[in-house]
Amino acid sequence: PVRLAIGPRDLESGTYEVARRDTLEKETVASEAVVDKISILLEEIQENLFNRAAAYRDDRITIVDDYEEFKAVLEAKGGFVAAHWDGTPETEDRIKEETKATIRCIPLEGYAETGSCMVTGKPSRQRVLFARAY
């Protein structure tokens, strides 16, 4: 994630070129500060990569409230679909049989809200994430 360039002039001047591979930024750092700078950069890079991955994931989740919309999103857009499910294996099997989508994740946070199952109308405590395998 970090590239360190050291040339003859860098050795003479006591500086190094430090480049981030995630943002392609470069900067010149004094040799005595390079270890601390790289430690800080590694933490920043980790946070940046995590935030980018989370944003990428969130952009690909579509929230739906009914089964027809669910099927339309699967056909037209794909990706993950967040929908209410009644928690029964029978409903899960029906969804899989009719759409080829399966539950990919039952989120621990972020989708806890009461609603009605998109298929049966039975009570649901949270949305789950469905997707098709490719």
Domain range annotation of the chain: 2-57, 60-132
C-alpha 74: how far from chain center: 19
Q: What fold is seen in the domain 60-132?
A: Translation Initiation Factor IF3 (3.30.110)
As a whole-number percent, the residues of the chain with pLDDT over 90 amount to 93
For the residues 69-77, what does the mean pLDDT come to? 96
Task: Give the pLDDT confidence of 105-130 residue by residue, as tens digits.
Answer: 999 887 889 999 999 999 999 999 99
* Average pLDDT score, the chain: 95
Helix (H) and strand (E) counts in the chain: 4, 8
Q: What is the pTM of this model?
A: 0.73
Cα(81)–Cα(101) distance, rounded to whole angstroms?
Answer: 9
> Of residues 96 and 134, which shows the higher confidence score?
96
- Confidence class for position 134, pLDDT limits 50, 70, 90: confident
Residue 20 confidence (pLDDT) above 80: yes
The Cα 46–Cα 89 span in angstroms is 38
36-69, pLDDT tens digit by residue?
Answer: 999 999 999 999 999 999 999 999 999 999 999 9
Instruction: Provide the CB-side half-sphere exposure for 60 (13 A, CA).
Output: 11
